[in-house]
Amino acid sequence: MSPALSPAALPTPENLALTELFVPAAALFVVLAIMLFYRAVAGPTTQDRLLAVNVLGTNTVVILALLSVGLDEPWFLDVALVYALLNFLMAIAISKFTVERGGVL
Amino acid sequence: MIDQLQFWAVLLCLAFGLFFTFVSTVGVLRLPDVYSRAHTASQTDTLGAGLSLAAVALALGWESTTIYTVLLLFFVFLTNPTAAHAIARSAAESGITPLTAEDELESETPDDGASAPGDTAVNAGEEGGDHA
């Protein structure tokens, strides 16, 4: 568990297989996100659509984090962090603006 | 040996994260109410996203980008139930009544129910007064 051991162990073929594990996982997450679009389109109330878009945003954050490992692009994590912030802000703002008196939170 | 341990830990975290996100997706698609959907979105989706981000952090190892991932994990753990709570509370304040066991009984035996609350939970107003 020493910190000097793990970067030396990075270019082994086993670890390459480890990073290649992440792109199919991201593809499966994309499939789940496409399934979530049904609730975002056909939800009966505004809050249903907002909840589906919120879960979709969390899925997008996870997909960005998985692709940052799978494609070896570390700046995807910055995009994921900003996207998580904006997703939370959007959920709070819309759920506050759908109520007239604004008593949410 | 530590490579094997890291590999299996990452694989386990990814598999469980995918499983819990799948459960959350099925719950959001299939559950009958806004409140039950908020329930599954706040719990299972947080667990699935947290496990997947833990898999990312374990695969990165000791690097500076791991700090980003752990920060993202804590942020998702804090904000995802908060957002679901805010959405459920705005649904409650805009007059959506929760689907109760009486509604289930009425929808199962439709011969005595004049109102049919089976498909949608939006029956606010005059018949939802006693629930509040």
- Under the banding of pLDDT at 50, 70 and 90, the label for residue A58 is very high
> So what's the pLDDT on residue A21?
86
Domain count, chain A: 1
Give the gap in angstroms from C-alpha A86 to the nearest C-alpha of chain B. Answer: 11
Number of separate domains in chain B: 1
**Domain membership flag for residue A90:** yes
Per-residue pLDDT band for A101 (boundaries 50, 70, 90) equals low
Q: How far, in Å, are A92, A105, B88 from residue A99 at the CA level?
A: 11, 12, 12
Residue-by-residue DSSP string for A19-48: HTTHHHHHHHHHHHHHHHHHHHHH-SSHHH
Residue A80 in domain:
yes
- Quick one: which of B82, B77, B129, B128 has its CA closest to A104? B82
Q: Which range scores top for mean pLDDT: A10-14, A18-22, A67-71, B112-116?
A: A67-71
**pLDDT at residue A82 greater than cutoff 80:** yes
Q: What is the pLDDT of residues B3-36, one digit of tens each?
A: 888 889 999 999 999 999 999 999 999 988 899 9
Residue B82, domain extent: 2-96
Average pLDDT over residues A27-43: 91
pLDDT in tens, B48-84: 999 999 999 999 888 888 998 999 999 999 999 999 9
For the segment B110-130, what is each residue's pLDDT rounded down to a tens digit?
A: 444 444 444 444 444 444 444
Mean pLDDT to the nearest integer, B76-103: 87
Q: Do the Cβ atoms of A51 and B3 come within 8 Å?
A: no
CA separation (Å) from B67 to A83, B8, B56?
17, 22, 11
Percent with pLDDT over 90 in chain A: 56
pLDDT at residue B131 above 50? no
With tokens 């109520």, the residue in question is A99
- Domain membership of residue A79 (yes or no) is yes
B127 within a domain of the structure (yes/no): no
Collapse the DSSP code of B121 into the 3-class scheme (helix H, G, I; strand E, B; otherwise coil) and give the result. Answer: coil
Cβ of A58 within 8 Å of Cβ of B91? The answer is no
Is B109 within the bounds of a domain?
Answer: no
Please compute Rg for chain A using Cα positions: 18
pLDDT of residue B97: 83
Contacts of B75 in chain A (CB under 8 A): 81, 84-85, 88
| B126 inside 8 A of chain A by CB | no
**B85 is a domain residue:** yes
User: What does the buried/exposed string (b/e) look like for A11-22 if buried means 16 or more CB atoms within 10 Å of the residue's CB?
Assistant: eeeebeebbebb
- Give domain status of residue A42, yes or no: yes
Q: Residue A103 domain-assigned?
A: no
Position A15 scores a pLDDT of 55
B128: in domain: no
* B74 alpha-carbon distance from chain centroid: 17
Report the mean per-residue pLDDT for chain A. Answer: 83
